[in-house]
Amino acid sequence: MNSENINHPFLHLKVRSLLLRLLLISIVLGIGLGAIQATSGLKFNPQVLNLILYIFLFGLLCLWTLADFKRLGVNLGYVVGRLPSNHRWLPMVGLVILLLLFSMGSYLVLFYLLSLLAPSFIEAILRDIANNPTPYRNAPVLFNLLGAIVLMVVAPITEEFLFRGIILQRWASKWGIRAGLLGSSLLFGIGHANVVGLSMVGMVLGLLYIKTRSLMVPIACHALNNSFVVVMELFSNGSKTVSAVNRLEQLRYSLWFGILFIVLSLPVLVRFLSQNWPRKNAPVPYFINSFQKES
């Protein structure tokens, strides 16, 4: 292995390659499933199928990336890091709750603003939501179990590995730590269809990774965030209050809840960002972990 690859482990791990691979895997899986259904006559449950596709899609993408690690001499241990022995986990719970409030609030506010610009489009979405309730409300136990595993285990591990472990460090190595943090967080938000809320989540998780140099910390916080979502869905099972937002004329009430959530969470989140914002020339976690291992 040449010295260029050793000194610059993310030189050839390009984000556009990840996106192209994601598209390629999606196409292959789609064609394969279509062929299976056409030849066998099987009809897959769309909700179960989406979960299985997610597992295969992100699982295969991570395995493909790990193959690049071996080819390029990238040390997975330096990417993941060690679990901090004296990390304060209790404040992380509060931080995750604030992130959940902010993401919910920003979603509600943006949804309301979109309803002013395109009321017919939003009304159609709300009608579809009302006619197709979330899986947790009418699905069998096995499906709920699969959904919980995907949200609380598969998604945190694969997404943190890709967005923080790869994309953040790739862009940070190319443009600097701040640009890498902002860019990877924005891409994370876009990928989750809640740009403002999930970009904030991405920034906080990215800062936790930079600060602790352990990918296990943002994975744990990501899993905790998704666990709260799962619990909220389960407790809202059959609740009529959830359907209140499913009509256009009720959006103004959700607007005030959204504003309240943002007001409660944003000041603390901004304080956390300002206190932990990396210096301009800060190295990525990979380099610090590799230096400490060698020393």
At residue 222, the pLDDT reads 97
Q: Which tens digits make up the pLDDT trace of 1-51?
A: 443 444 567 878 889 999 999 999 999 998 998 888 888 877 777 778 888
Residue 90 makes CB contacts below 8 A (sequence gap 6+) with none
Q: Are 15 and 170 in contact (CB under 8 A)?
A: yes
Whether residue 210 has pLDDT greater than 80 = yes
Q: Which tens digits make up the pLDDT trace of 134-166?
A: 444 445 677 788 889 999 999 999 999 999 999
Q: Which tens digits make up the pLDDT trace of 39-84?
A: 887 777 777 888 889 999 999 999 999 999 998 889 999 999 998 8
For residue 231, which amino acid is it? V
Task: Please provide the average confidence, as pLDDT, over all residues in the chain.
Answer: 85
Q: Are 144 and 185 in contact (CB under 8 A)?
A: no
What does the alpha-carbon distance between residue 241 and residue 243 come to, in Å, rounded to a whole number? 5
Residue 56 makes CB contacts below 8 A (sequence gap 6+) with 25, 29
Segments making up each domain of the chain, as ranges: 83-294
Share of the chain above pLDDT 90, in %: 56
At residue 270, the pLDDT reads 97
The SS3 of residue 194 is coil
pLDDT band at 130 (very low <50, low <70, confident <90, very high): low
